[in-house]
Structure 1
């Protein structure tokens, strides 16, 4: 595929790092995957619950450090993939030049849903969130394969 995906959430400590880790595993090395936050505290680690949930899946987020969105990250991405409709609307308003490549995760495939923020929730809440993200990344993979002519 040879494309670059940028997952976006609010703080870049829960949803988008989990999406980044899951996407790297599901999409493989030919897709470059990264993440950032709309209001990230630069350098914050992934949440303990996100670390635990992905560790069970064999994915290590221990080296993750939150970063704030910036024009260079957005410009470099082929697809900017926010977690919610609200993130999508805000990104399009702040960066109208990238509207054509901003598409929330739930808009890939047929599910059309937002990925709600698990921040402060139990491990079970994080597990459910990771399962939702994982399912949508498989939908994303199908559409990316279709766009690349890999039916």
Structure 2
């Protein structure tokens, strides 16, 4: 099974939602984890993230974790939520540069913006927007990984 790691900042919003969506859609084809470049270990996903996942019939238990070298080593692909996350990882783990991509750069031909919208601290409606963005990107990710 292919091993996919999603990375964001605090590992309470975007990367847990991405992890949950991919696990929900591709459970038989992927092992999925998420981490944060500045996460506090053991935090729950945000209330809004959990609410939006529940609205989409996705059950996901989550505990945040800080990105570590063992996570990079584990993954076949590391997909970040922003270009900043990608650069931070490549700066700290230069040997992993061949498997680290922003999610958008990997699945979109020529993205105008490399970053997935950040709903942190926003309303449930803002989280719904980010969920929708992630859902579409992950649908495209699954198709692309099937052909790569």
| Structure 2, unaligned runs of 5 or more | none
Length-normalised TM-score, structure 1: 0.92
**Deviation by residue 1:51-82 (Cα, 9 ceiling, x = unmatched):** 00000111123x21000000001101000111
Aligned twin of 2:41: 42
**In structure 2, how many angstroms separate the alpha carbons of the residues matched to 1:51 and 1:60?**
8
**Count of matched residue pairs:** 145
Moved over 6 A (4+): none
| Structure 1, unaligned runs of 5 or more | none
**In structure 2, how many angstroms separate the alpha carbons of the residues matched to 1:46 and 1:128?**
17
**Is contact 1:12–1:36 with CA below 8 Å preserved after alignment?**
yes
**Is contact 1:108–1:139 with CA below 8 Å preserved after alignment?**
no
**In structure 2, how many angstroms separate the alpha carbons of the residues matched to 1:82 and 1:44?**
19
Deviates more, 1:103-112 or 1:82-91: 103-112
Length-normalised TM-score, structure 2: 0.94
Pairs within 5 Å for 1:96-107: 96-107=94-105
